[in-house]
Structure 1
Amino acid sequence: MKFDLKGQDQQTKARAGILKTDHGVIETPIFMPVGTVASVKGVHQRELKNDINPDIILGNTYHLYLRPQTSILEQAGGLHKFMNWDRNILTDSGGYQVYSLSANRKIKEEGVKFKSHIDGSYHTFTPENVMEIQRSIGADIIMAFDECTPYPCDYQYAKRSMHMTHRWLDRCLLHLNKVPFKYGYSQSFFPIVQGSTYKDLRIQSAEYIANADAEGNAIGGLSVGEPAEEMYEMTEIVCRILPEDKPRYLMGVGTPINILENIALGIDMFDCVMPTRNGRNGMLFTAHGTINIKNKKWEDDFSAIDDMGITFVDTEYSKGYLKHLFSVNEMLGRQIATIHNLGFYLWLVREARKHILAGDFLTWKTQMVKQMDKRL
């Protein structure tokens, strides 16, 4: 993997870069649609590629390990071939899913024993077998196994968890060198900064992760319920320490406003289920504000869903028609809203890139945040 910075905003820390892997070029800043179980929910790969057009998507190690299982993925030739996606894929390590299964898991130094949400069977994730699983999945970028702490989190717990995450990182790196690539292309490895919302822990963790000298770095444990201002504070602290010549990935973030504010702090890569999940619930993100398409006010509005939108659904369907689809619980409505939202997120980060390179990012961002904060 190669990462080249092409420009940086002079008034903020926003960056525009080019990240190259064996599956192609990723222009940053970038948003990665979440394809949890080898599918971006409700979207055909053809629509994903031709209309939404992301350079990279995200898959989930925990879910893919349980279904379809790594043996099936290996028979298919890896996740790319299994789902017919010839661009980049990043897989998380399953740490967040383990965090979300708090009632059904036990964390020890060796790893995490957890109960499957599907059939109640017991499984164990360790730094070593998570590296093996991600080799079998075959993503272009793979993540270290970590513990994602909850919010709020006791200081001593956060500290113990952070140190364990660092020890797990060392084990990941040691084992990764013993497990060869499976499908004829390389994989890049990102460790994860933890430390909850404690400044001293975030500094300590960022320094440890920077010293690992991996090909990129991630920030985890945010967007788990903390106020946005605390998220921004932690991100700013960490970005001061993480090397400038490597991509920075803020995991699980967030709203369109969160994304712009974190771009301004120096983040290059994002993922979040919000555009798809909120879309399925009738919430549309636009450059002018947020629309709840289920509201009665839209039933006789025959204007385009979004005349500034980049996908075919934005101009081929009206707000009134989309409101009707939700009213009658037609799955097409959820698909349309999902495609629109993903298209908007990709438009947003690409517009940000243009303005970083043009030198007027801060002015543009300030105006966009003001507009997007409205409820239409």
Structure 2
Amino acid sequence: MDRAFHARWFDGRSSAGQLVHVALSGSPRGPVLRLLQLGTGTHLLELGPREVRWPESWSTQARPKPLAVDLGRHGSLQVDDGSLWHRAQAAAGHRPTLAPRMQTRWTVLAGACVMALAALAAFYHWGTPWAATRLTAHVPLAWEIGLSERALRDLDGRHLRPSRLPVPRQQALRAQFDQLASRARAGHWPDRGYAPVFQLAFRAGLGANALALPGGQIVMTDGLVETAAARGLSDDALLGVLAHEIGHVAHRHTTRMLVEPGVLNIGLGLALGDVPTLVSSGASLLTGLAYQRGHEAQADCFALALMREAGIATAPTADLLTAIDSHGSEGPAWSALLSSHPQTPERAAALRAGKAEGCS
């Protein structure tokens, strides 16, 4: 059924407007606009749904307000009472877009907010790690090795000192590490196209600690070796730590830590527009803590699988981790950031049982 009213048509060829009869009718594809000459009813113009820029109703109030309707190359309509147009438009089957529905109906606004928050949460939980992993896969190994060399030089200049471990002891541990790294590459390696150059370095400083740098460089401190010896633990304890650090390298966690905040901030920018610095910084901080916990869990699972394949007992590593925690070490045994790890007692118990949370 047509809804008709009067309007002034400016056809774009003349500055004078022509008073016309406007009729909107429904069709399977949407509203159809017809302009008829007053008095005679002569057909002047007919436009389909895609030929009219249908104005939206941004208010629930029905006060008469002038309205301009863009007809593209056919000029424009000047409607004195915009409410007449909107009623006729709705009756002809026009479906308002989400933006005006959010403004005029609080239930739609609430639903859109819930969906937006759910989408952001999903992007944070799944989308960002997925995108960061894909982007990290394209980072050249040479860049990682260069970054690792610069980072180690900086650590040597600020926090670390040359190792005091006897050379034969270093050589024995390095030989076991090389065997473990070779077994890791031959086993459940996540990306066969990624071939880091594994190297084990020994340093003094930073307490009982071990850390993985990108590209395959792993650093073990004298304090970690000495703590294991003081507790009478076998080298299995140290190899468990090294297996975990190999897992960090295998999954390129250090590089992902550089990529993930940027991916999240891009997502926030696309979703929210111009993100304030405070929000961006807070998001980066939360990203670092939450995603590092995921990295730690992933490295735990990698280490447990590798230790099973190599026949390495997991209980000594649990005992070493407990010993470090009881001494209030400045750094953790399995990474550089203790705050990103599960609580030590729960983690040690899982190690002794030969399992970790989230492992398949």
TM above 0.5, yes or no, is no
Q: Which has the larger radius of gyration?
A: 2
Structure richer in helix, relative to its length: 2
Answer 1 or 2: higher relative contact order, Cα 8 Å, separation at least 6: 1
What TM-score, normalized by structure 2, do the two folds share? 0.24
